[in-house]
Structure formats: structure tokens, C-alpha cells
Amino acid sequence: MSDAVSMTRERWAATQRYVVELFADPDPQLASLMDRAERAGLPRIAVSPDVGRLLALLVSTTAGRRAVELGTLGGYSAIWIARALRDHGELVTVEHDPKAADFAEAEFRAANLADRVTVARGSALGALVDIAASFGPGSVDFAFVDADKLEYPAYWSRLRPLIAIGGYFVADNVLGTGSWWIDHEDNDARRAVDELSRTVAADTAFHSVILTQREGLLVARRVR
């Protein structure tokens, strides 16, 4: 391959900017949400608008009744997911940082989504026990995991039995984050995420793939 077309950090950034420009935020609340979140002291680590669109697109191909998110932050990805649910659909999104949970709840009210989004305050693994008890096996149409990367394999083992046929398990940052990246660093977060991706790829009850958008998304759909 010639240098002109080989992937570099700059080319990757330009490619991402192009995609985000094409698939920008559709309204002022989403467009300003992470600026406001940053001013409130939250880190700027939400998914990009194109990934938000992808989450909504996937939700719209399901029954759209029940969704679970691990890692709410300011509510950016949750708003995309919740809007794509059917009428009377519900999203439970889990967040252990009270400052983030407060901020996100205000955003859900401003988006008129307070009736369909519940913020579960506490640890992701703890909340999954309650979610399993209240939702039950085979009842979750969409699960988005984006909390502690070290816990990704545990999120999968607890969420897998809950996913409905035709439902999705989606994990963010499966190719890297600001602090590690799949091609050049070996650390515990990378090992945990790699373990998740290999486990899901080998699971014949799911059709799965990794999309390279932003920091990588594992997308798995339950087929039986």
C-alpha cells in the first residue's frame, strides 16, 4: 500500500471528523450537552453523534421495549437510545457518580424522556442483580455497556441471559480509549475487553462484529 493511502493518526482523525460532520447532532440539546457536562465537571468521553445514531438505528430494529445502559455519564448516549424506543419503552441506565447522575436526570427531563428513563444510582454489577430480577430472562431488547472496562466480561455474563431474541448487546471502546489502545498497549483494561470480544465472537447464539467507528463498538445480536 502506498503512503498516500496508509492509515495514520491524522488520517484516522480526519476520517472521524468527516463522519461526524455528515452525521452531526440533530438538535441543540444534544449538540450542547457535552459542553454543559464539561462545565459541570464531567469528562468529555461520551460517544460521538455518529455512534449515537448507530445506537438508535439498532434499537429501532428491535421490539424497543426494554433497554439497559451501564455508564450514564451526562446522558448523551442514553438520550439516543431512549428516543429510539417504542411508546412505553423503558431504559434503565446505571451510574455510580452522583454528579453525573444528577446532571443526566436534568437532561432527561429537558428532553421529555423522564417517563421512560430511570437512572439506577450505584455500581453496574450491583444494578445488574436488580435488573435481572425486575426484567427477567430474554426480556432486554438493547444493552449498551460503557462503564468499567475491567468488568466487561462480567457485564456480558450477567446480561447475556437477559437479552431477547432479536435484541442486541453493544459494548463501547472495544478497540481502545484515551488511556489504552488495542494496537500498542498491553494492560488489564485491554485484556478484559479482548476477553469480552473473543467470548462474544465465539458465541453461536449471537451474530456479532466489531465496528471501527470512533473507539470501536462490539455489536452482537441474539439469533436464538
**Is position 105 an interface residue for ligand SAH (rule: CB under 6 A)?**
no
In the bound complex, what is the minimum distance in angstroms from residue 167's beta carbon to ligand SAH?
18
Nearer to ligand SAH, 50 or 148 (CB): 148
| CA angle (185, 188, 192) in 5-degree steps | 105
Contact positions vs Mg ion (CB under 5 A): 146, 172-173
Stretch that binds ligand SAH, among 111-119, 132-140, 146-154, 179-187 (CB under 6 A): 146-154
Rounded distance between C-alpha atoms, residue 44 and residue 151, angstroms:
21
Closest CA to 72 of 42, 112, 109, 31: 42
Return the one option of ligand SAH, Mg ion, none that residue 173 interacts with (CB less than 5 to 8 A, by type): Mg ion
**What's the number of CA atoms in the CB half-sphere (13 Å) around residue 133?**
6
Return the one option of Mg ion, ligand SAH, none that residue 107 interacts with (CB less than 5 to 8 A, by type): none
Q: Which of 147, 171, 175, 196 binds ligand SAH (CB under 6 A)?
A: 147
Nearer to Mg ion, 62 or 213 (CB): 213
Stretch that binds ligand SAH, among 68-76, 158-166, 198-206, 208-216 (CB under 6 A): 68-76
Return the one option of ligand SAH, Mg ion, none that residue 123 interacts with (CB less than 5 to 8 A, by type): ligand SAH
**Is position 104 an interface residue for ligand SAH (rule: CB under 6 A)?**
no
- Considering only residues 108 to 137 of the shown chain, the ones binding ligand SAH according to CB under 6 A are 123-124
Nearer to Mg ion, 56 or 164 (CB): 56
- Considering only residues 148 to 177 of the shown chain, the ones binding ligand SAH according to CB under 6 A are 148, 151
Residue type, 103: F
Residue type, 5: V
Q: Are 118 and 108 in contact, with CB atoms under 8 Å apart?
A: no
In the bound complex, what is the minimum distance in angstroms from residue 1's beta carbon to ligand SAH?
33
Q: Which of 47, 91, 162, 218 binds ligand SAH (CB under 6 A)?
A: 47
Q: How, if at all, do strands 217-222 and 163-172 pair?
A: antiparallel
The footprint of ligand SAH (CB under 6 A) covers 45-47, 71-73, 76-77, 94-97, 100, 123-124, 146-148, 151
